[in-house]
Structure 1
Amino acid sequence: MIFFQDLTFSLRIKEIVMDEPLVSVVQQRWPGLLIEQQVYTEYYCITQVQLKETSLTSLDKYSTALIKMYRAKGGKTAHELKSLLELLDEQTMDVTTHKRATVLQGLPLYLREYKKLSTTCHDTDSLQIYTNEMKIGILEVVRHHETNPGAAAMNVAVVIEGRVVIEELVDFTTAFVILVGLLYARNIQYPKELKYTFETVQKVFLNIGDLYSHRVLSLKNMLYKC
């Protein structure tokens, strides 16, 4: 027997893959798909992988090795990684949450990709000024009086095609995991500027796919040696 929900899922996936609708169309036709828990459910239906649990487990598994690799990195990206790691070193509370975010934020730098994953703005700013320029990314909103680069965000949002699709998320890591789920489930191509970052998350952290680029395979081999 084919349940109605299964049939709806099949038809929806077919339409998304064939028609490649804009995110604005998805928001209108299936607004429920842009809810945090539903993103996890949809991802599991497609991949049979628990997106949030597997991502967090892998981040915790590899964080010590990756941070060690970040600290040892030289060359062009060393300064930016150092600044990121200094912010982590200053944290005294909820260190695990900060460590996960540091790993994800440092990954593009380590992989020699210089497109930022996130943008920070103040709550008094016009969000549209920032989202209009974001094809894919994460927007972190801090209070207007905050000047500390490591200030906690009061709102974290996922942006796709210049639109905020999910907001009021608990932290950067949650937003990034949801972004990965949305890109995969909506059949949106990973941005070229961050293709190695997303490949690492998909193939190393989530263990989906076995054909690695040389750059990601090198990182994976280094992780296994640490």
Structure 2
Amino acid sequence: MDAEFSSVQRRARIHAALGDPARLAIVDTLTLGDASPGEIARALQLPTNLVAHHVNVLDDAGLLERGRSEGDRRRTYLRLRPDVLASLVPPPLRDVSRVVFVCTHNSARSQLAAALWSHRAAGIPAASAGTHPAARVNPRAVAVARRHGLVINATGTAHVADVVTEADLVVAVCDNAHEDLTDGVRPRLHWSVPAPEDTDAAFEAIFADLAARIDRLAPALHPAAAQRAGADHD
């Protein structure tokens, strides 16, 4: 917990350093190449003393490195540290063996999320379930999946009690499921994806919403050690 809090404090310090428009402009200037403080001052049309102040703030936050010119040792060049910017991303969730998407009826949102995950996120399997599962998957969910090259079993609904284990990362993809899962199973993540209206356009919209969320989540998950070992032997 102390390590996590220390990481949050460090990220907060970096965010604070980036919270000034001039400092953010300096970081943008250094994203693709190095520059001297004088060059930055000219590029951004800022006084050199103000650039020096902002550079010191960015340096104190660990965002920059300074190096002497090989041609003129009096000149200093600034280099951005991409690894520090990368540290602004929240820490990954480790040892995830499976992701289970849950909604109320397991007939649309959770089914689409599991199909999308299986298609886009290699290395960690996915499943879906419902708190009050319907007998069949919504035909519009099957259709929108098919339009995007995915396959959903129209009769493959299930109850959370028959699917979820303690080792799963549970993602509630609707508010009702999130609020229902208070006993035994508690979702570690909640996506407030609204129930779609009964139109193709509405189902396309939730498909796009779920796809964008999955693309953000997948890089933040690290598979369990056994899965990593299995992948190494493939």
TM-score, with structure 2 as normaliser: 0.29
Instruction: From the two aligned structures, give the one with the greater helix fraction.
Output: 1
Task: State the structure with bigger RCO (CA 8 A, min sep 6), 1 or 2.
Answer: 1
Q: Which is strand-richer, 1 or 2? A: 2
Question: What TM-score do the two structures reach when normalised by structure 1?
Answer: 0.30
Rg larger in structure: 2
